[in-house]
Structure 1
Amino acid sequence: MIPWDAPGRFWRGNLHTHSDRSDGALPPEEVCRRYRAEGYDFLALTDHFVGAYGYPIVDTVPFRTDRFTTILGAELHSGAMANGELWHILAVGLPPGFAPSRTPTFQPIPDQESAPDLARRAVEAGAFVAIAHPQWSGLTEADARSLAGIVHAVETYNHGCAVGCDRADGFQMLDLLLTEGHRLTLCATDDAHFTEPDHFGGWVMVKAEANEPEALLAALKAGATYSSQGPEIRGIELSGDALRVDCSAAAAIIVSGRGTASKAIHGESMTTGVMPLGRFEGSPWLRVTVVDRAGRKAWANPIWR
């Protein structure tokens, strides 16, 4: 879906956050207050779903207001990745009674539920599910492929991983999976713990008719979103042999596609860019990045031609 064609308006939210119900520094009420005070429209509190913390799906309903909503969720864990470490799977929109995996700590144990089975259960329970921080996790291509046909998205920018260890990126993994034909979307998140400056750095803009959990989740699953560190993407139109992008003031508009297909338009305070698509003739998908003069970026979901 191209979200600018969808009904409703854009709502700003963060899909990945922690509180002191797991390894975050602040109580849930204060986490919600801070996001609300910073102008966010919604927040998913996604504490670590492990036995050591009591498998929390934190009830944030009491912290909703007439202008701010919350979506229940968790960061799920079960099984070992190829590097022997525990899987991290982001699940937004879980029911309060979602059955725990057998994950007592952050160490994998024998005969645990597999990551694909856990992700599939979360999807079937109604959640929007994403592969969390591929670069930070040390995800292999085989790991990613095991979830590619199940999940909705790849977490392509994680602000906590950016400031904490310089491993924020998920675009290489996303582009690989897109090239293999998997129709995934992308999301930027904070993964905030409030133990370092890991908050208010990456978010998702969701086009929906109401700032309500059900409407936001439906839009997330449909791909009616883009992600940002600051710039706005105000429209993308694919017409014939060109792609038009309308945005807030930008220093670069970049189009990426399969393999080495990529090209940028550079300028000063650009609010419109038109990219000829000859360079992308063989690419079944395209995605757009907008960069402002401060180096902050916004990313559109892949467009399938």
Structure 2
Amino acid sequence: MTDAMFAAPGTFWRGNLHTHSTRSDGVLSPEEVCRRYAAEGYDFISLTDHFIGQFDYPITDTTAYRTNRFTTIPGAELHSGAMQNGELWHILAVGLPADFAPGNAPGFRPVEGQETGPEIAARARAAGAFVAVAHPEWSGLTTEDARSIEAAHAVEVYNHGCAMGCDRPHGFYTLDQLLTEGRRLDLCATDDAHFSEPDHFGGWVMVKAQENDPDALVEALKAGHHYSSQGPLIHNVGWEDGRVVVESSAVASVIVQGIGSAAVAVHGDSMTRTEVPLGRCQGSPFLRLSVIDRAGKRAWTNPVYPG
């Protein structure tokens, strides 16, 4: 069985889903942010400035910076309500309409009477956005917190800004806990770029869509037709009886992960077609893949659900 993403028609487009500008707490103008991502070979970005009153609830209009080879998706990082640790929720929403209604979030601290995180996430999904739980490790997110975001399409499993700024970049534990409970969620890697430190061009998504068009990209994200990367390319994944066959750029490790401690790894040199026996991962309700190159850069597939 070929993974549905690779069987789907279209082309892979490289993009960053989490970016900030001077419309909130970034240091570069929206125009310069778009210019830099285009110059670095990205096909698209979503400018996701902080959706709070302090910045006048921005959904930054980037349509003027689109070209015939680079596009932009409207979005925002939403904030409302307190997590269990008392801090404000951070919810990534890509593909928000320009008229998405502000809540009551004046700043970066929770206030009485505002929407909860689950409520604003649900409102964003109902408005057509691709919704992801942002930087769980950085936020100090509990599994109970994460469980409450029923509207999420994905968990942000790698955040490059959090890697560079505090060495808390991951969300894999959060994702796997929810998968173990039976949730079906995808994953995404992002920059969370503010350009105030080396927080850019470090993690991205490869989205398979028939056009490099905002609506087509958002629909492909929602459908799970994307993988995440720091560098390696994944060309095809075939799940067969008792094994998985992975075609990729040259890598040194391919790892299958399943429920609990279930994992199987194959290591080698310059591997471009790698067969991994499922071994103790057989019978797991979900399976996902990591590929790692010689420089330690990784790429990750969304989970699949055997049976």
Residue 105 (str. 1) matches residue 107 (str. 2): yes
Name the counterpart of 1:174.
175
Superposition pairs for residues 275-294 of structure 1, below 5 Å?
A: 275-294=276-295
Deviation at 1:2, TM superposition (A): 2.5
SS in 1 for 2:32: helix
> C-alpha separation between the residues in 2 aligned to 1:281 and 1:30?
48
Structure 1 position 252 matched with structure 2 position 253: yes
Q: Distance in 2 between matches of 1:199 and 1:80?
A: 28
Deviations 1:93-133 (A, max 9, x none): 00001000100010101111011110000000000000000
User: Which residue, out of 114, 117, 130, partners 1:115?
Assistant: 117
| Contiguous gaps of at least 5 residues in structure 2 | none
Find the residue that maps to 1:23 and give its secondary structure: coil
Which of 9, 14, 17 matches 2:16?
14
- Which amino acid letter does the alignment assign opposite residue 252 of structure 2? A
Specify the SS of the correspondent of 2:115: coil
Q: Quote the offset at 1:281 in angstroms.
A: 2.1
Question: Aligned runs of 1:197-216 on 2, under 5 Å?
Answer: 197-216=198-217
Aligned-residue sequence identity (percent) comes to 65
Aligned equivalents of 1:14 and 1:278: distance in 2?
Answer: 35
1:2–1:303 CA contact under 8 A, matched in 2: no
Taking the aligned partners of 2:282 and 2:247, their CA distance within structure 1 comes to 22
Does the CA-based 8 Å contact 2:253-2:265 persist in structure 1? yes
> Structure 2 counterpart of 1:155, which letter?
E
What SS is found at the alignment partner of 2:252? strand
* Distance in structure 2 (CA, Å) of the matches to 1:58 and 1:5: 34
Question: Contact 1:2/1:236 (CA < 8 Å) preserved in 2?
Answer: no
Deviation at 1:274, TM superposition (A): 0.9
Q: TM-score, normalised by structure 2?
A: 0.98
CA contact (8 A) 2:256 2:281 kept: no
Displacement of 1:273: 1.1
Counterparts of 1:287 and 1:226, CA distance in 2: 11
State the partner residue of 2:73: 71
Query: SS in structure 2 opposite 1:269?
Result: strand
TM-superposed deviation, 1:240: 1.1
Runs of 4+ in structure 1 deviating by more than 2 angstroms, as ranges, are none
| Residue aligned with 1:176, SS | helix
Mapping 1:39-188, distance limit 5 Å? 39-147=41-149, 149-188=150-189
1:79 and 1:109 in contact (8 A); partners too? yes
Partner Cα separation in structure 1 for residue 138 and residue 58 of structure 2: 23
| Cα RMSD, aligned residues only | 0.7
**Deviation of residue 246 (structure 1)?**
0.7
Helix, strand or coil: the match of 1:98?
A: coil
User: For the residues of structure 2 that align with 1:237 and 1:19, how far apart are their CA atoms?
Assistant: 40
